Chain A
Amino acid sequence: MSAAKSGPMLRARGVTRKFGGLIAVNSVDFEIPRGSISAIIGPNGAGKTTFFNVIAGIYAPTAGTIELDGKPLISPPTGAGREPILLILPTIPFIGLAIYSLLVVGGDTGLVEGVASVAAALLGFVAALLLNIVRPTWYNRLIKRIGVTRPARPNDMVVAGLARTFQNIRLYKSLTTLENILVGMHVHMHGSFLGALFKTRLVREEEAVAEQRARELLAFVDLSGMENELARNLPYGKQRLLEIARAIASRPKLLLLDEPAAGMNPKETEEMTALIRRIRDELDITILLIEHDMRVVMGISDHITVLDHGEKIAEGLPKAIRTNPKVIEAYLGRGAAAGH
């Protein structure tokens, strides 16, 4: 991890997300300082999770851009209308050839040539379709020149260095804890399709190393000895830990935690808080969390942003937020703020 890099870990500029007529997130500017533990809070329906999902690449923003570690990754899609051209273009010569051989040459002599060129056209189409769907980086760069851009997908964000957990735990329930972590390491493994078929030494070594590291990660979140347990059989609190371990398995720069302490008892909450600190301090991962439990938020956050009705109403240190009249109003209503 390059500690030399400066500037915020994540920078969101004017992020807006509309669902039909509803503006879930409205022009939010937002920065996460490098190496910090930041929090987003706000009353129910304030747009926290939507904002989270925009950052994680699940929803494309209606407007605004997001940079992770200085790299612009997310912006609204453009030029969607021009995409079909990309599909048809490579097939035109072959279709022309097919028409030529079937109509101009004609008859039986054209049959095989016709079929062959139709097949070639089909191949061209499939190749174009594949490129259009898979979108390798060079292809993205190419189509940017004709004005087609698409925001990064969740998996692109993971490659760029972002990992997340979910509000309602989403583990691979019938896989073992070890396998869950191994899936989390996916982006750092390079075993190819053919490598798997022929079980090359590279693949075998990579698997062994990954397994070793997965065990270490399990130990890090205090789940050692449960490697072969199915994820669904773990108690609730441990499922949360496993989800976090899976997220940090992708070696992120920024970790998004969606209500990490939800549904936990005070003791578990305390352990979770300690773990979050340890992730930041020992693994050098910047953390952004959404949390309802004010004790957790106030206890560990360096920096808090408050959303209400999709808009940022305050940000700053926990102490300042606690006494901010706007925040109190949002949570408790106008009367409470006036009484303060």
Chain B
Amino acid sequence: MSRIADAVNAPFAPVRAFFRKHRSFGIFVGVVLLSIALPLLTRVPPFDGIQSTNAWVNAFTTAAIYAMLAMGLNVVIGFAGLLDLGYAAFFALGGYTYAFVAAPFTGIHLPFWPMLLAGGVVGAIFGVLLGAPTLRLRGDYLAIVTLGFGEIVPITLMNADKFTDGVNGIGGIDKPSIPGILQFTLTNPWPMYGLVIALFSLIMIMIYRLEDSRLGRTWDAIREDELAAESSGVNIVIAKLQAFAVGASIAGIVGVVNAAKITIVTPDQFRFAVSISALAAVVLGGMGNTIGVATGAFIIYLFQSILLKQLNTLVENINIPVLNQIDFLDFQYVLYGIVLVLMMLKRPQGIFPARRRMREFAPLKIGKRGAK
């Protein structure tokens, strides 16, 4: 079998070698190709019957936002092994950061682009704030504390009426624009799609680089054995804080984009369900595998927002007596539950398990036995 596979792969070997050497470029090309292919795919049956291309593009944008969230969560869970159940909080903080400085509510209108960075910084600060007291906690204890943090943030946002307009949230958030060239609008999904795709590939490239670096190895070591890591000279305090900060700053940046996309933030958008859906994506895709996790998020999002909706129309059309009373969209939580339970039982490593990186090692130098 492998001989056939080798024969088939042979012509692609130089291409592969190229992309292995220039992985960042490869990711960029791959994401761009995919982002062109996906909208084209929606022009052909059966996808064109489901919704308009614009609606599809909109859905892909949201899916990519969720995929970025999942990739960020994967840094915390998959790389450093810190179970974070309150990830939506950072997403919320990013969103509110932008809403606070770019909406009629406060009357401030700062431009979008620098706020992307600000969202990341705010996320990182709160990530450290959450990470610092939880450094000594492991496993389930950490999960409970982060769960609490994840609830505190939206509830605080809900109750601090004076600053956040409570349950109503902050609406009318400015859309991004490139002055004189391009104004993002609600009706045209393409600019936002482009922005999200660019950000997506950027974040993916950065995560891959971190994973391969000294820091990534540190995270590996901590996940495998904290005590041994410490005794290898790893400062686990700093490494864990870095994991929290990186994960949270990605969520913060994505929060800013999300707020700019839907132009309203309310506390209800950031409840536990968001954390759980990101977690489900990480588990489904395969903890520790960045591309896998992004794919997992795509699958879950498209499943819940497209397939369940389709199921509704389907059942309505066929007119099955009991089933047509049910709104399948309410069943997304069941979906997360099923995904988590099934994956844990049948394939705990995820659909695309993280393969230990097989680097191309330089050949051994012979005759240099004995260091120093």
Which A residues form the contact surface with B (CB < 8 A)?
56, 58, 111-112, 115, 122-123, 126, 129-130, 133-134, 153-155, 158-159, 163-164, 166, 170-176, 178-179, 182-184, 186-187, 189, 191, 193, 195-197, 199, 203, 207-208, 211-213, 215-217, 219-220, 224-225, 227-228, 230, 246-247, 250, 282-283
Contact = CB atoms under 8 A, between A and B. Distances in A.
B128 A186 contact: no
Given A129-B132, A211-B362, A220-B371, A155 B213 contact: no
B311 interface: no
Contact of A191 (B214, B235, B241): B214
Contact of A186 (B108, B210, B233, B368): B233
B18 interface: no
B128 A126 contact: yes
A326 B126 CA distance: 59
Q: Is the interface of A mostly helix, strand, loop or mixed?
A: helix
Contacts of B315: none
A187 B217 contact: no
Contact of A196 (B163, B213, B235): B213
Contacts of A189: 214
Contacts of B230: 58, 153-155
A130 B241 contact: yes
Contacts of A283: 371-372
- Describe B's contact surface by its main secondary structure: helix
Contact of A230 (B163, B237, B356, B365): B356
B221 A183 contact: yes
B210 A197 contact: yes
A247 to B, nearest CB: 8
Given A191-B214, A228-B358, A219 B370 contact: yes
B209 A219 contact: no
A179 B217 contact: yes
A134 B131 CA distance: 12
Interface in B64-116: 100, 106, 108
A206 B335 CA distance: 46
Given A130-B241, A189-B214, A111 B231 contact: no
A196 B238 contact: no
Contacts of B128: 126, 129-130
A81 to B, nearest CB: 19
Nearest to A173: B224
Contacts of A197: 206, 209-210
24 contacts: A122-B125, A122-B129, A126-B129, A129-B129, A134-B238, A134-B241, A154-B231, A163-B233, A166-B227, A166-B231, A170-B228, A171-B224, A174-B356, A179-B220, A182-B217, A183-B218, A183-B234, A193-B215, A196-B209, A196-B215, A215-B364, A224-B364, A250-B233, A283-B372
Given A126-B125, A154-B231, A220 B213 contact: no
A115 B209 contact: no
B365 to A, nearest CB: 8
Nearest to B108: A112
Contact of A166 (B24, B228, B229): B228
A155 B234 contact: yes
A211 B163 contact: no
Given A170-B225, A172-B221, A216-B371, 13 more contacts: A56-B231, A129-B132, A133-B237, A163-B233, A174-B224, A175-B220, A183-B232, A186-B217, A193-B242, A211-B361, A212-B365, A217-B371, A250-B232
Contacts of B372: 282-283
Contacts of B162: 111
A191 B212 CA distance: 11
Ranked 3 nearest A-B pairs via Cβ: A158-B233, A196-B213, A187-B233
Contacts of A172: 220-221, 224-225, 228-229
A282 B371 CA distance: 9
B369 interface: yes
Given A154-B230, A183-B220, A183-B221, A203 B237 contact: no
Contacts of B210: 193, 196-197
B59 interface: no
B135 interface: yes
A134 B132 CA distance: 10
B351 interface: no
Indicate the member of B135, B214, B234, B372 with the most A CB atoms within 10 Å: B214
B236 interface: yes
A183 B213 contact: no
A158 B232 CA distance: 7
Contacts of A246: 232
Contacts of B242: 193
A123 B232 contact: no
Contacts of A122: 125, 129
Given A130-B241, A174-B356, A186-B218, A220 B233 contact: no
Nearest to B24: A199
Interface in B189-213: 206, 209-210, 212-213
A216 B232 contact: no
B53 to A, nearest CB: 35
Among A56, A187, A196, the most chain B Cβ lie within 10 Å of the Cβ of: A196
A115 B238 contact: no
Contacts of A208: 362
Given A133-B135, A191-B214, A219-B369, A171 B220 contact: no
Nearest to A153: B230
B210 to A, nearest CB: 6
